[in-house]
Amino acid sequence: MITIRDLHKSFGDLDVLKGIDFSVDQGEVVCVIGPSGSGKSTLLRCINRLEEPTSGQVLIGKDEVTDPDVDIDAVRRRIGMVFQQFNLFPHLTVTENVSIAQRRVLGRGQAEAEQVAAANLERVGLSDKADAYPAQLSGGQQQRAAIARALAMGPELMLFDEPTSALDPEIVGDVLAVMRGLADDGMTMIVVTHEMSFAREVADRVVFMDDGAIVEEGEAERVIGSPANERTRRFLARVLDPAAADLADST
């Protein structure tokens, strides 16, 4: 489904991605973990060319996203992306938010778009909020609406960029439950996350990034439960037990 070859991205003199190589099979869930500034979000944004890679290749199936002559709009229609922020139109209802791109990008009529919206709102557990406005929703509900909006476009691949980082802890579980359901349905997913329990439970593979490079990757249970690399071990110790990590640092 996805092949990434020697991917580099620089912003001026700052090298953010330093030769990324990995692939994702159809139906596979890959969680990307690592410290802030390690290049995780930039990697996602290069996959659908929201950021232009400096060099290297990204392929979605047989389509080379990084080919200057590719129909990037056609490729992007195959990819759904969910960001940290929800980016809903505040003046539109939930149904209208989920319908508008279908109508403008896919050319669906209003009735069909609203029917698809209703099906996807049911999928994420928001049927009862179809006529609400974003300001009337909790953060978790807004993020689920954003997921429904992406799903309504019929993507083959979903990219999640820390989708729970802006949420209160008590509502993170609702969003993760929706993502678990997508994984169970066979959706191909790349998820940048700090939710280690989710990664351990749902991911087929975990990729640990640091300083613009992949340091370690493998089966989720192995990487999170028994990492081989010292840098991975230090990161996970801090994420899984911050108090113990701080104590170790102080001694």
pLDDT at 241: 72
* 8 A C-beta contact, residue 162 and residue 169: no
pLDDT at 221: 92
Distances (CA, A) of 130 to 83, 90, 107: 21, 14, 21
pTM: 0.91
Residues (pLDDT < 50) of the chain are 244-251
State the chain's mean pLDDT as an integer.
Answer: 91
pLDDT at 166: 79
- In a 13 Å sphere around the CA of 108, the CA atoms on its Cβ side amount to 18
Dmax (CA) of the chain? 65
Give 22-37 pLDDT, tens digit per residue: 999 999 999 999 999 9
pLDDT at 242: 61
pLDDT at 250: 42
